[in-house]
Every structure is written in C-alpha cells, then in structure tokens.
Amino acid sequence: MSENQNKVAFITGANRGIGFETARELGENGVKVILGARDNVKGDAAVEKLKSQGISAICFPFDINQFSDHRKVYEYIEKNFGKLDILINNAGILLDNRPEDAANQTSITSQEVLRKTFDANFFHLIALTQTLLPLIRKSPAGRIVNLSSILGSLTLHSDPTSPIYAFKTFAYDASKTALNTFTVHLAHELKNTNIKVNSAHPGWVKTEMGGADAPMDVTDGGKTSVQLALLPESGPTGGFYHMGDKLPW
C-alpha cells in the first residue's frame, strides 16, 4: 500500500455504481481519491461512506458537460496536490432504446441522442483529459483509464457468433468505439513517457445503467479500472481490457 500513498486519483461520475466501487478499491490501495459528482449531496454521502472505511476521499462538484468544471478541477488539483497520478474517465450515458425494449433502431436514432451521447462519452471526455494532461505529466507514473464497453468492439459487433451481436445501441456503441480510438491515439503520442492510457470494459454490471439482469455485482465493477490505474512500469498501454484479458477492437 505504501507505494500508492502519495498517489492522487480523479474519478468522474464517482458517487455511485462503478465509479464509486473504483474509488473504494483505489482508496483501499492507499490512493487519495477525488470523486467527481454532479450531485453534491450524493457526492458528500459517498465520501462519508468511504471515510467510514478508512479511505482518504474528497468530493468535487463536477459535470463532464460543463467546461468551467474542467478548469475548476484542474485548479483544485494543481493547488492542493501539484500533480495528478490517475484519471478515471468513468462518467457516461446511454440514451438509446435498449435491445430488450426494441429492435435495432440505428436508422431512426435521432441527431439529438447522437450528439448528447457523443458530448458526454467522447467530446467532453477528451476535453477533460486534455485539460488535466499537464498535471498527469507531472506524475512519476501517470495512468489514464477510459471507461469503454465491449459494445464498442466492431470485431464482436460484426461477428454473428459473438455474445453481443444482437445488442445494437447505436449512439452508445459508436461513442465507445470512438473512445477506443482516442485511447489508441493518445497512448501512441505518450508511448515514450511514463503515462499509460488504456480502455476498460468493466463488464455487464448491476447498476442503474446495467439493469437488474446484469450478471456481475456492482462490487466487481471497478476491478478492471483499478487494475489499469495501478499498472506497473512494465504494464501495457494502448489496449482494451476486461479483468486482465485483452479484448478485440
């Protein structure tokens, strides 16, 4: 644990679900966690729960869609810590009709759904990463984890024998495919630095987004993100992983 005690992590969408579990596990490993939360009350409650477990945690009011929040969190981290060791781009939305509710509706997916989905899951996520990157460069072992999804895999979506073949939520899936592209390109740019950039598929988890039928309990939802956040110097960069296994793009 001692090697992580000076590490600071910022996790977006961290007051509940996968983000909260990621914060909990990183905190258990000695990392100081900053929880980005749109709802201050829920964020503060999440922090108190973590503190009751002996975890060093802070709530920071944060909405990925508000660029002013990007600058505010940069200034807060710079002032109080001088660097950022771990960025977990966890916040995301799914606005499509789900496959269990309706058939593939790609041909009628609205521009509004596409734009809102890409803003939260792609464009504004990239903006935040670019804003915080100067602080991550100051870390001796910077780690960027982009929360993707197996539904972003074009290889599996085009394979009739794959387990996700019938699950076509176009806007969400396309935003995660685009996010994976960002991972590959940013990792390549930073390949000769101490920063590692990877995409994580947390699994199909019982959360508000995942639903009650998901096979994974929420307590396991943060494991892949934590693994990638705490990669050793010899660890991979520019990959797509679930529980240590590499996934196809």
Q: Alpha-carbon distance 226 to 52, whole Å?
A: 21
DSSP 8-state code for residue 120? I
**Who's near 235: CB < 8 A, 6+ residues apart?**
196, 228
Q: Alpha-carbon distance 187 to 247, whole Å?
A: 16
**Terminal-to-terminal C-alpha distance of the chain:** 33
Q: Alpha-carbon distance 96 to 85, whole Å?
A: 34
Backbone angles phi, psi at 67, to 5 degrees: -60, -30
Which residue in 7, 32, 176, 206 is the catalytic one?
176
Q: Alpha-carbon distance 231 to 164, whole Å?
A: 28
176 classed as catalytic:
yes
42 classed as catalytic:
no
CA 30, 196, 123, 110 torsion-angle sign: negative
Of 15, 21, 37, nearest to 206 (Cα)? Answer: 21
Which residue in 172, 196, 206, 223 is the catalytic one?
172
Write out the catalytic residue numbers: 172, 176
